[in-house]
């Protein structure tokens, strides 16, 4: 009997056919099972959960489609406790059912820091220290003191606050600052196009205060940007240390700030040139 004798047997081909059918069936079942397990082709668009609490997310049955996982929390006095402030994946992303959605929410209890000792620091040093701790500046009050722009005192809610006091992050601090021995006039900084927080910071770093604020076409501070100020930011508009600057805002969704800011800067440079020419001619 030869080695290849079985090739001529009918039983061999029957067994071979059965093996091939079984292999194809097992492969097909594996593919189908993989599709079922991975939910192939079943994708859902991630909704925008910003501002919603976990209870609201459950009420709207988001947890039927996604696995909501809270990974962090941060305190924000302006937002509702327990509401979502960040999410990943971002809204509009296409994901499969059951995908983890990682959430950062507003914490129930505020974070606190230790109030630093700002006395005798320069105003700029004090501002940097406060920002690094997550504290903000309420306003600047210039008082009689020989060292100009040196911090003389620190207050919260109208009361002095001692260094080492535990204070909630985000608390606005009122600073008493020395005005020096003689009067100094300063220019108004260019604020056009800046967002509200950036405008406040720029004024404080320029030794000035925020005056009345007007929102012309939006109350959404995320889109509000400086449209104009009073006084205007020109070199011949010099004001006193600690003076207030009135601000008008418009929405960057309704107004072309890029071209507007370029035009404001061109106008400012033109005025500067005129002032310098007048100075030169009068010499």
pLDDT in tens, 205-257: 999 999 999 999 877 788 899 999 999 886 667 899 999 999 999 999 888 98
pLDDT of res. 7: 59
Q: What interhelical angle do 196-205 and 123-132 show, nearest 10?
A: 150
pLDDT of res. 113: 93
Mean pLDDT of the chain: 85
Dihedral angle sign, alpha carbons of residues 132, 213, 183, 202: positive
**All domains of the chain in start order, with CATH:** 43-106 (3.30.10.20), 111-182 (3.30.10.20), 183-275 (3.30.10.20)
| Among candidate residues 53, 74, 69, 60, the one with its CA nearest the CA of residue 101 | 69
State the pTM of this model: 0.65
Across the beta sheet with 244-251, what order do the strands follow?
Answer: 209-215, 244-251, 224-230
Q: Which parts of 7-122 fold into alpha helices (H)?
A: 10-38, 54-59
Classify 104 as helix, strand or coil: strand
Mean pLDDT of 122-147: 95
How far, CA to CA in Å, does 216 sit from each of 107, 233, 262? 33, 20, 21
The Cβ of residue 160 has, within 10 Å, a number of other Cβ atoms equal to 11
Query: Greater confidence, 178 or 27?
Result: 178
Classify 166 as helix, strand or coil: strand
pLDDT for residue 169 is more than 90: no
Radius of gyration of the CA atoms of the chain, in A: 33
Mean pLDDT of 41-49: 83
User: What backbone phi and psi angles, to 5 degrees, belong to 251?
Assistant: -80, 135
Q: Which parts of the chain fold into alpha helices (H)?
A: 10-38, 54-59, 123-132, 196-205, 257-282
pLDDT of res. 162: 96
Of the segments 34-38, 39-43, 124-128, which one has the largest average pLDDT value?
124-128
Per-residue pLDDT band for 281 (boundaries 50, 70, 90) equals: very low
pLDDT of res. 30: 72
pLDDT of res. 263: 81
Is 146 buried (19+), middle (13-18) or exposed (0-12) by CB count in 10 A?
exposed
**Residue matched to tokens 């327990």:** 82
Mean pLDDT of 58-72: 90
Q: What is the tens place of the pLDDT at every residue in 257-275?
A: 888 888 877 776 665 554 4
Q: What is the tens place of the pLDDT at every residue in 84-133?
A: 999 999 998 888 888 899 999 988 777 889 999 999 999 999 999 999 99
């Amino acid at each position: 009997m030869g080695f290849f004798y079985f090739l001529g047997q009918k039983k061999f081909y029957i067994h071979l056919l059965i093996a091939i059918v079984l292999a194809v069936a097992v492969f097909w079942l594996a593919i189908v099972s993989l599709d079922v397990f991975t939910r192939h082709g079943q994708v859902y668009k991630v909704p925008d959960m910003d501002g919603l609490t976990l209870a609201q997310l459950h009420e709207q049955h988001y947890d039927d489609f996604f696995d909501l996982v809270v990974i962090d929390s941060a305190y924000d006095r302006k937002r509702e406790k327990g509401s979502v402030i960040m999410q990943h994946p971002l809204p509009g992303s296409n994901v499969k059912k059951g995908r983890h959605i990682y959430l950062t929410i507003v914490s129930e209890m505020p974070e606190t820091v230790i109030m630093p000792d700002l006395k005798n620091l320069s105003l700029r040093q004090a501002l940097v220290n406060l920002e690094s701790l997550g504290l903000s500046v309420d306003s600047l009050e210039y008082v009689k003191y020989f060292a100009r722009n040196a911090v003389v005192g620190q207050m919260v809610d109208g009361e002095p606050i001692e260094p080492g006091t535990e204070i909630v992050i985000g608390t606005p601090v009122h600073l008493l600052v020395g005005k020096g021995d003689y009067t100094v006039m300063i220019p108004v900084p260019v604020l056009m196009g800046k967002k509200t927080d950036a405008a406040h910071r720029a004024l404080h770093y320029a030794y000035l205060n925020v005056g009345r604020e007007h929102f012309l076409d939006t109350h959404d501070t995320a889109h509000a940007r400086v449209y104009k100020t009073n006084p205007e930011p020109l070199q011949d508009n010099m004001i006193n240390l600690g003076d207030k600057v009135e601000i008008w805002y418009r929405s960057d969704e309704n107004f072309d700030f890029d071209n507007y800011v370029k035009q404001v800067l061109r106008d400012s440079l033109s005025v500067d040139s005129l002032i310098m020419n007048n100075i030169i001619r009068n010499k």
